[in-house]
A and B are shown apart, each in its own frame.
Chain A
Amino acid sequence: MPGFGLTMGYTMVYLSAIVIIPLAALFWQSARLPWPRVEALLHDPELMGTLKLTFGLSLLAAVLNACFGFVTAWTLVRYPFPGSRLVDGIIDLPFALPTAVSGITLATLYSENGWLGRPWHGFVEAVNPAWHACASGINGVLAAVHVSQALAWAGLPDGIASDLPEQIAYTRLGMLIAFIFIGVPFVVRTLQPALEDLDREVEEAAASLGASRRQTFWRIILPALLPALLTGFSLAFARAVGEYGSVIFISSNIPGKTEITAHMIMKKLEANNYPAATFLGVVMLLASFVMLAAINGLQWWASRRGRGAA
């Protein structure tokens, strides 16, 4: 193994300096919090509210991103159209924009007098009676199939809102849009190379063996892409969980309603309560770790299954 010692040493030093030491400091700081205060924090309904909201919305945004990111990546790879290079470049913008800039932009666009908020307001006024009937129907179905409990856990105790919000900014819907905005590039960028590597011959073989288009998609294409899709999904999810700048301006920051955990950490810092702030950081870190480990396990399972099938 030529150069093993050098590269390994470099990797360890680099990882320690950049990742491990700061994280260890986080744990160290939070360890200064006496146990009764830890208990009080863990039983704080506000903290639970922010955690549920942060993880619930991030998960929902990542799921939506996985679906629509898939379509976008598919279109860009399979159907090159005039200007597709430009669209391809635009995908990266949420990466490149300072998060505060995107946050302020989104809040301005989606508030009542914004470019998108104004038409939305008109739309809601026209459509709300119909929506009302529709939502109670949907909620009835959700209750019947026991999905309501999952929704309640994700911070939506009443199921789907029976009235559409008058404006998107300053609601959870607005926060969801911000989370989707920052997550798009992760899914598209991880799927693109996997899609490009996909052999057309396999699809042709499936077709010549009599598989329908639907069968080809579900049994040939999707299993091959699943590992990449899951990677993109977990990246988008992780990014949303840790997001601050782009969501803080479009949220109304009402504790228990629209407050994310990162904002709560900021408030603890404002009160010079470093141990509590770092403790919340550790809680988020552990929660993210568990969820990402679960997703990784799923990915490992998917790639093994994919290889086994091939």
Chain B
Amino acid sequence: MLKNVFLALLLVIGVAFSLVSCGSGGGKSVTLYNVSYDPTRELYADINPAFAAAYKARTGIDVTIQQSHGGSGKQSRQILEGASADVATLALAADIDALAKAKLLPADWQKRLPDNSAPYTSTIVFVVRRGNPKGIHDWPDLIKPGVSVIAPDPKASGGARWAYLAAWGAALKAHHGDEGAARAFVTALYQHVPILDSGARGSTVTFAQRDQGDVLLAWENEAYLALKEFGADKFEIVAPPISILAEPPVAVVDTNAEHDGVKHVAEEYLRFLYTPEAQEIIARNHYRPRDPGVAKAHEKDFAQVELFTVDDVFGGWAKAQATHFADGGVFDQIYRKR
């Protein structure tokens, strides 16, 4: 009996020691696993070394950050199915809500960090061929006869849903809140889409490399990347006068981070995104920064666009998702009419 207690004690002490040595970085190194969506690849490739350097300078601990990128919905499902993400930096709040539903983090996660937990924002813009031969300047131009639009499939990709909602919201504002008119516009718009790729990157390649279509609906940062990648002499970015404010949220996945003993570092990592240093990196990667000072400095890098949020126009993501993208939802209905 006594022997058993002794053994149990020994075990507890051993476990406690190993936990402590993990948590406080006794080995002077920690590993964070950041599960993110597709277009942030270049952004986090710049952010991670900056954070590691800053953290090392302050605490003397080495941080290694592993990245994973993919479609936002797919990444969210992978975390649900057991991928040990310490932080999730996804395209839609809905994809992190799905994690909250599985009790991996608290339901009020979005209130834990400033600005709805979205340290950077973006919007949907148009990419056109050099010289803008079809004269595309605003949303209604997309449904002129003979214009072909490349956009990803809203049923298959998170980024594509932003483009769809941007079109819907813009039409809604143009027609003073007339839902029927918005629906008619979006219906016409997707009749001008000959190819539905299953992700934002796929659409960019289809448009830029395979010469398909006249206009690409793209994330602002993807548009700049496409210009850099496929030749600024071949394409132009056209910012519509009105578009959607995309707020890609970030969150610590509490259960995983606690299990890995890195919750504190994970929180620091996300808070780092709001510092002027990180905001500068964010702006240089063509995401719109939150920090007023950095935003002011980069004012000329971003077109003046009137931005509306999903909350304002659609009453939040959950509602937009159920109305527009669920099976038999509005997108299915307007597509079936083809």
Contact = CB atoms under 8 A, between A and B. Distances in A.
A266 B70 CA distance: 14
Given A263-B198, A276-B327, 11 more contacts: A112-B211, A112-B212, A113-B210, A252-B194, A253-B198, A254-B194, A254-B195, A266-B198, A267-B156, A272-B77, A273-B327
Chain B interface, DSSP helix/strand/loop, else mixed: loop
Given A108-B210, A169-B210, A270-B155, A253 B196 contact: yes
B210 A270 contact: no
Contact of B211 (A111, A254, A266): A111
Nearest to A104: B205
A46 interface: yes
Interface in B293-338: 325-328, 332, 335-336, 338
A205 interface: no
Interface of B: 71, 73-74, 77, 98, 153, 155-157, 194-198, 202, 209-212, 325-328, 332, 335-336, 338
Contacts of B194: 170, 252, 254
A248 interface: yes
A114 interface: yes
Interface string A237-257: 000000000001100111111
Size class of the A contact interface (CB-based, 8 Å):
20 to 34
Interface string A97-112: 0000000000110011
Interface string A137-160: 000000000000000000000000
A22 interface: no
Given A108-B209, A170-B212, A271 B327 contact: yes
A45 interface: yes
Interface string A266-300: 11111111001000000000000000000000000
B326 to A, nearest CB: 7
9 contacts: A107-B210, A108-B209, A111-B211, A252-B195, A253-B197, A255-B335, A269-B77, A270-B74, A272-B98
A41 to B, nearest CB: 9
A270 B156 contact: yes
Chain A interface, DSSP helix/strand/loop, else mixed: loop
A50 B3 CA distance: 68
A267 B153 contact: yes
B336 A45 contact: yes
A46 B209 CA distance: 30
B327 A270 contact: no
B74 to A, nearest CB: 7
Nearest to A249: B202
A268 to B, nearest CB: 8
Contact of A254 (B156, B196, B202): B196
B205 to A, nearest CB: 8
A45 B328 CA distance: 12
Interface in A19-75: 40, 45-46
B210 A266 contact: no
A117 to B, nearest CB: 9
Nearest to A256: B338
Contacts of A270: 71, 73-74, 155-157
A-B CB proximity, top 4 nearest: A252-B195, A111-B210, A267-B155, A253-B196
B78 to A, nearest CB: 11
Contacts of B196: 252-254
A190 B225 CA distance: 48
Nearest to B194: A252
Contacts of A46: 332, 336
Contacts of A248: 198
Contacts of B77: 269, 272
A264 B205 CA distance: 22
Contacts of A112: 210-212
A40 B325 CA distance: 17
Nearest to B325: A271
B210 A271 contact: no
A268 B198 CA distance: 13
A308 B302 CA distance: 80
